[in-house]
Structure 1
Amino acid sequence: MTLMMAVAAVWGVLQLFAASWPTRSVRLSTVLLAFAVGMYGCGVATALVELAYTRLYAHQSGQSLVTVVDTTSYTVAPWVEELIKVSPLLLAGVSLKVRRQWGLTDFTVLGAALGGGFGLLEAVLRYGLDAHRAIARGGGWIIPDSLSPPYVPGLGQVLTAWLPAPFSQLDMLGPPATETFSHLVWTAMAGFGVGLLWRARGWLRLLSVVPLAAAAAYHTVNNYAVQEPVGQAAHWLESLNGKAWAAPLVCLVIAMLADLRQIHRGRHTVPGVVLASERVDGDSLGALLRYASWRLPWSLLIVLRYVRIRRSLLYATASASPDTAQDLRWMVAGITARMEASNNPHAWQRLNVRDLLKATRTARRSRQRWLLLIPCVLAMPSLLFLGVGSFTSAAGLQKFFSTGSGPKILMGFGIAALAWIVYQLTTLLRTWRTASVQPMAELLAVHRFRVGTALGAATTGALLLWRGFGSAGPSGRAIHTFHLLDALNTFLVYLGFALLLLSLLALFPPGGLALAGGGAVGALTAEAAVNASLLGTAGIVLMAVGAEGAGSGGEGSSSANESTSRSTDPATAERVGAAREQKVAELTNGTVPSGAPGKPGLKVTKPGAGTTDVDVIGGDGSYIAVGGPAKARNLAKFGEKCHILKYAAEQQGVRAQVYLEEGTPESALNLARKILGEGNVHTFTR
């Protein structure tokens, strides 16, 4: 049953994720990570806050804890829970980069994911251990605990329902039915409100209060009706529940209309980030579909991720000056250039994707492979306990883990998991600054979401160890009853350890691997790592196929027409490079930092972008890159190198310049001028 509750919660999030495609810029992995944050970050934070204020108020007022819990359940708790559930979006929006690059659609979908994770935690705490007493009925399971028992839907009911809840309360003797997922609805509305707060301007920001207040008010009515099931609130709740399915849709439609306007405005601001075929044909969808058909599934993945990243850029440039997203703009331009170069059948025919991926896997160190294996092994007992054992036919697994030595086994794995989480948290904190300088806001948000998940899981693990080694023991209650809709009344220590083990999956892939392309593959070069961070595995494929296309002279390649020579002899190439560097050093009264012209120069690095060589240091200290016609073969790579050179020069307070030999195509010269400025790009004769 736990597995089906999880499927129902995730399915509702996926429905909104799919419906939001025309304007969404966040990827599925980010949405699922937000789901985990809702479960482990927001859920734990809410539990601690409610534990604090219920105990404190009961102590000061002299009322019983039960009375305080019942009263605060519909007075304080709904507002506290909704604010905590959207707090990750509020904190993410503090970053200018995030609130500029995310649209209203992104905030709405991520809000739904946060609410979905929170609601699933409540469902698992309530009924995750009831497989042994569940009764199959109507394709799902009834847990007979009252005349209006909870009902967990089956797979068929989940897949055919809109925003299905993990469990529903059946009417007395009524037929099985799947209700709308309330927590998802509430937090989708609240997420839309946060989006208005961060994205709207002027007086329109005041409207952000409306969806936030509506979500909290709906939550309040729901909780009050639980306490007073025969009052007027019950009729209000019935009416609200009947319309709840439409609330996220209304928010999503409004968000998408607003975002489409922003995308249209952004296209006029940065017209250079479209494929040539999009401009020529005037049919963006048709041009992208043609590219997607070259080599499925890789070409399709490239298109889907390219469109998503381009939307982030368009949102940023529509809401602020284009200069504020310059790094992202050139990265998108680089991807566009690679797609242009590979927009022909010859490039894809020459590429062996299997060998490429095999090479990248080989490049991954054995230590990294072990890091990927550890969380999978540690999560196995929890998957057996809460996954396989949650079905009535395999309820014996739950009995094994909840009696005898089972709780101690979960506790042992939990201790190892806690140590692993602390290690992960340390790694994430070390990469805090690296994540902050990423040009893509989503990478920054993913890092912060992972930190929040790790903090919540570590806090839970510490509490469980305290209770497990204390009077409660591994099989005792972790916390006595207090409000998280009373679900924590059945929060047993071994159940907590099982949930702790599952949090490892939310922190997968481990550590810094997540910053280098989601851990999809190892990167052969720094440039490949940058592409992987933006496009995942498809980014490495694009880098390879772009190079094939640029070298093939096919459609989209400028090198065949513009390059005057192409030497394949390393000795000849080295002599040409040495002569160029020597000439530029003479022209600028500078020096060759390598000490030997033609050899690799001074290495400089830009965090999150890669490295490049400084070929000559001018007499005024300027950083100079030297080249010739071959720079036009891969404009995307050349542009990235110029950006890195400019960054490194600015760090030293000097100029960044490029000297290109006569005969270099105008496309390379114009690109360098855009990045470095007209006065910093020169041509010379060897």
Structure 2
Amino acid sequence: MVAAAVWGVVQLFALAWPTRSVRLSTVLLALMVGVYGCGVVVALVEVAYTRLYADGSGLPVAEVVGTASYTVAPWVEELIKLCPLLLAGLYAKVRRQWGLADFVVLGSALGAGFGLLEALLRFAAEAKRAIPRAHGGWVIPDGLSPPYVPGPHQVFTSWLPAPFATLEMGQEAASATFSHLVWTALAGFGVGVLLRGRGWIRLLAVVPVAAAIGYHTLNNYVAQHYDATGAADWLEKLDAKSWLMPLICLSLAMIVDLRQLHHGKSRIPGVLLAGEREAGDSPAALIRYAAWRLPWTVLIAVRFVRLRRALCYMTALASSTETEELRRLTASIAARIDTSDREDAWQGLDIRSLLKKTRADSGRWRWQLVVPCLLALPSLIFLGIGSFHSASGLQTYIATGPRPEILLYCALAALAWIAWQLTALLRTWRATAAQPIGEQVALHRFRIATALGSGAAGAFMLYRGLGGADVTTDTLLSPAHLLEALDQTLFWVGLLLLLLSLAALIGPGAGLALAGGGALAGLTVEAAANAALLGSAGIVLMGASANGGFGDSGTDGQGSQSSGGGEVNWKPASTKTFGHTFKTHGRKRTLQQMADRARGKGTPQGQWLDDNAAADLLRREHRPGLTGTEDSYIVQIPKGMGRVVFEDETWKEATHAILVPGRNGLFRSAYPIIP
């Protein structure tokens, strides 16, 4: 069941590659939020309103649950499943840096997580009763339309497979389409339109959200009214086409995203690689770079592409002032990739030693990984190996004797661990919000949601378990919807699900020790911050770019060469060679600083966006013998190398540069212009 839920999400994740900016870890964490965040909140809300209505009306709880399943539950479930996306979208950097395809994929993950919770609550402990089918999968003998759990063959050869399906009389085993994934993928597309759209376009967000709720309502209505043949016919037609709905949403999202990516890459200076500027073939340049040192160059290329996409999406909705910080970081990484895009940059690079130097307290990081893994081990055995009929004895072993009681104390330790992790997450709330990458903020908030949900559920179960409930035979609750799944779930299964939630709270594994006030492993704080955007691959990139001649704060490594009677230092920081070229017009000047200078001088100001490339250009264009401003000359510059900043903080890409010779025969100044 877990494999089916994850596989469906991974399918959409893979299809969205041309425009997606979120990582797989973010998508999988969203799935966990669907289980432990959305699932717990929905359970609490449904328990509350069914109990209150039953007490007020005098109707049996079971009857209230049945009616609410198609009147209130679809609205409650779909809106709560969207809450993580809506809350993450409250941060401007998140909604601006995610494309529409990101919202579709993350929505599908939230829905898959919620649907997986229902499946696990119902059938997690049924491996012993399951009957293997000749064509694969297992049937749980309950009634004339028994539940069917697909096997590996059905899962991995199906599109968006559901964790379980219902077999009708005489029906062959086949995996159904995962309804919850489909519904929330539709609704996620609507959230994307709402958060990224402008003007009246935002009103269109109602359409996919309403479609998801309507489809969900029809599904639950038919489940409660077997004699509603008209509604059943409608549902059958929708189910037959449901596999296509996420594809349509994803296709529309990718069309919009591709336009924004193309527009952004053509407008934003400094973010194209040298190979892309020369050949105009983005895939070829990236593929060539990715082949230098596997797997690190692949990771660098992929993560750089995602970072650049986030910048392009942000540029479509934000002003140049707001995007400047992210643009500078992206351009800096692009410059490092250009510098390391040759064989000698990777020769002799000891990556293992480099990572050891920059890794934080490895002992502490290891036990932070080991403890949650040990606590979650019973869940992994029960829900993983024990879920197969041939290994169902493991489930029986865990569920009998003193072991359910032991699980209770394991859950107590897990709850303490969750509380500690939640405290650490809350303490870093503001620091995370200050990060330039919206995905980092969303990851942090998703972890908090998972910790809060699993912590609340764990506290409730411990309250019941330590308060006298029979851990072996009692259920979590009496009927309270989630399609009565909670009523069928044994108490100790809930404890196992609590232990499994620790997997979502394992901290980031990069372990980077980024010092706050100085250099780290010979690299400046600015370089370390740039590399932190790429994780461990960023550290490797810094080492390779240093080998290739890249440096920071006056160590850009262009080298020296003979010119006339002496050595010329062609490093950008050399004022003897370049005068005030890079001090006044270099890439480290912010957009606001350049605009202030434009206002002070009363004329637009040119700025280099890649100091290394500019220094190399000036070296090539140097004309010995010229010694005065009257000898100034204009040259063409490559696309993306410079820009001209105006007084109102707007800018345009420069196409030429004016080179002003100095008295020493080198340069007094040089800056981009628009003739």
Q: Distance in 1 between matches of 2:493 and 2:225?
A: 31
Q: Which residues of structure 1 form unaligned runs of 5+?
A: 518-522, 568-625, 647-662
Q: Distance in 2 between matches of 1:205 and 1:154?
A: 42
Q: Distance in 2 between matches of 1:73 and 1:536?
A: 45
Q: Distance in 2 between matches of 1:51 and 1:664?
A: 63
**1:628 and 1:407, CA in 2 relative to 1: closer, same or farther beyond 3 A?**
farther
**1:672 and 1:227, CA in 2 relative to 1: closer, same or farther beyond 3 A?**
closer
Deviation at 1:354? 3.1
1:172 partnered with 2:169: yes
1:121 partner amino acid: L
Superposition pairs for residues 261-276 of structure 1, below 5 Å? 261-276=259-274
Contact 1:414 1:500 in 2 (8 A): yes
Which has the higher mean CA deviation after the structures are superposed, 286-295 or 266-275?
266-275
Contact 2:531 2:542 in 1 (8 A): no
Superposition pairs for residues 622-633 of structure 1, below 5 Å? none
User: Could you tell me which of 78, 87, 90 is aligned with 1:91?
Assistant: 87
Superposition pairs for residues 219-618 of structure 1, below 5 Å? 219-231=216-228, 232-361=230-359, 363-475=360-472, 476-509=474-507, 530-531=529-530, 533-550=532-549, 559-560=558-559
Look up the match of 1:197.
194
Q: Distance in 2 between matches of 1:631 and 1:492?
A: 75
Q: Distance in 2 between matches of 1:672 and 1:501?
A: 54
1:218 partnered with 2:215: yes
SS at match of 2:477: coil
Look up the match of 1:67.
63
Contact 2:476 2:491 in 1 (8 A): yes
Q: Which has the higher helix share?
A: 1
Q: Distance in 1 between matches of 2:587 and 2:374?
A: 40
1:388 partner amino acid: I
1:52 partner amino acid: A
Look up the match of 2:655.
none
Contact 1:110 1:191 in 2 (8 A): yes
Q: Distance in 1 between matches of 2:39 and 2:31?
A: 11
SS at match of 1:535: coil
Look up the match of 2:31.
35
Q: Which residues of structure 2 form unaligned runs of 5+?
A: 515-519, 594-610, 619-640, 652-666, 670-675
Contact 1:305 1:535 in 2 (8 A): yes
Deviations 1:2-33 (A, max 9, x none): xxx10110000000000000111001110001
SS at match of 2:138: strand
Q: Distance in 2 between matches of 1:471 and 1:664?
A: 71
Deviation at 1:269? 2.9
Contact 1:50 1:77 in 2 (8 A): yes
Look up the match of 1:20.
16
Q: Distance in 2 between matches of 1:532 and 1:428?
A: 23
**1:639 and 1:132, CA in 2 relative to 1: closer, same or farther beyond 3 A?**
farther
Q: Distance in 1 between matches of 2:211 and 2:375?
A: 41
Contact 2:324 2:591 in 1 (8 A): no
1:156 partnered with 2:153: yes
Q: Distance in 1 between matches of 2:644 and 2:512?
A: 31
Deviation at 1:158? 0.8
Deviations 1:459-505 (A, max 9, x none): 01101111111232322222111110111112222111111111111
1:457 partner amino acid: S
Deviations 1:298-334 (A, max 9, x none): 1111111111110000010112212112211111011
SS at match of 2:226: coil
SS at match of 2:148: strand
Q: Distance in 1 between matches of 2:98 and 2:37?
A: 21
Contact 1:401 1:409 in 2 (8 A): no
Contact 1:131 1:395 in 2 (8 A): yes
1:93 partner amino acid: G
SS at match of 2:201: helix
Deviation at 1:364? 3.1
**1:85 and 1:532, CA in 2 relative to 1: closer, same or farther beyond 3 A?**
farther
Q: Distance in 2 between matches of 1:312 and 1:447?
A: 18
Q: Distance in 2 between matches of 1:236 and 1:332?
A: 50
**1:644 and 1:401, CA in 2 relative to 1: closer, same or farther beyond 3 A?**
farther
Contact 2:147 2:167 in 1 (8 A): yes
Q: Distance in 1 between matches of 2:93 and 2:311?
A: 10
Q: Distance in 1 between matches of 2:540 and 2:586?
A: 19
1:100 partnered with 2:99: no
Deviation at 1:458? 0.5
Look up the match of 2:206.
209
1:79 partner amino acid: W
1:254 partner amino acid: L
Look up the match of 1:593.
none
Aligned-CA RMSD value: 3.4
Look up the match of 1:589.
none
Q: Distance in 2 between matches of 1:629 and 1:284?
A: 37
- TM superposition score normalised by structure 1: 0.80
Deviation at 1:276? 1.4
1:38 partner amino acid: G
Deviations 1:563-617 (A, max 9, x none): 96789xxxxxxxxxxxxxxxxxxxxxxxxxxxxxxxxxxxxxxxxxxxxxxxxxx
- TM superposition score normalised by structure 2: 0.82
Aligned residues: 592
Contact 2:269 2:642 in 1 (8 A): no
Contact 2:190 2:207 in 1 (8 A): yes
Q: Distance in 2 between matches of 1:405 and 1:173?
A: 42
Look up the match of 1:586.
none
Contact 2:140 2:148 in 1 (8 A): yes
Contact 2:38 2:80 in 1 (8 A): yes
**1:409 and 1:365, CA in 2 relative to 1: closer, same or farther beyond 3 A?**
same
SS at match of 2:533: helix
Deviation at 1:674? 8.1
Contact 1:125 1:487 in 2 (8 A): yes
1:33 partner amino acid: L
1:238 partner amino acid: E
Deviations 1:186-221 (A, max 9, x none): 000000000000011111110000000000000001
SS at match of 2:330: helix
Look up the match of 2:597.
none
Q: Distance in 2 between matches of 1:157 and 1:174?
A: 15
Q: Distance in 2 between matches of 1:184 and 1:259?
A: 22
**1:630 and 1:122, CA in 2 relative to 1: closer, same or farther beyond 3 A?**
farther
Contact 1:481 1:489 in 2 (8 A): yes
Deviation at 1:359? 3.8
